[in-house]
Amino acid sequence: TGQHYSHDMSGQFQQELQLPDVDVQLTVDRDSAMRMGEMMKGVGEAIAVHQPDAVVVFGDTDSTLAAALASTRAHVPVIHIEAGLRSFDRRMPEELNRILTDQLSDLLFCPSEDATEQLRSEGISNGSRPGLHVEAVGDLMLDTARFHGGIPEKIQSERPRLVLLTLHRPSNVDDASRLQDWFDGIGALAQIEGLSILFPVHPRTKKTLVALWGDNWKGELKARNVAVH
């Protein structure tokens, strides 16, 4: 859909995971407002060509909502995986995407019973409108992590208390003082528990780390038992 327009965020993973070529590749504007409209147009055109029985959308990205809107306009049922999740923070674009996608969807697969309860509190439940069905099916992300996860034995034997860290949400990493608080806390926990932290650095996070600590940002993290990958 063009949600990730750079090679580093899209094409690289297709190559490394040896995924087959996609059937439809959209090129969209990087501006979020224009991008959403162009995604809707592209998905709508794909629906017109392929005539699907349903459209499956995952998660809470702009492409999720754009596809749900395009499908609804085309009168094609929408299946939403990871439905019912809420942060209760409407400053997050993802939160608005979640709420609106759930309202548009016909089949909602929830990762937990809590998520189905949340939908019920919003008036989305089995029988609330014709064709709508809600089902708790488990957490796809957790299942994937369990199936593919784990640290290679060689690394695990050398560093038995190794923990993988990811940190990239704008509300956590865009503010330098908040980001420092995160790493101060992570470093303190690592010292108490005897942990080594392996940290694949997102470009967004790296930008703030450089602004915070300059060229010595890796050294600052290393002092907190955080190894950069």
Catalytic positions are 168
Three-state secondary structure call for residue 165 = coil
Strands across the sheet with 226-228, in order? 162-164, 196-199, 226-228
In whole angstroms, what is the distance from residue 28 CA to residue 3 CA?
8
216: which DSSP letter?
G
In whole angstroms, what is the distance from residue 67 CA to residue 161 CA?
42
In whole angstroms, what is the distance from residue 143 CA to residue 176 CA?
33
Please give the helix or strand (H or E) that residue 121 lies within, else none: helix 113-121
Q: Cα dihedral angle (71, 115, 94, 178), rounded to 10 degrees?
A: -170
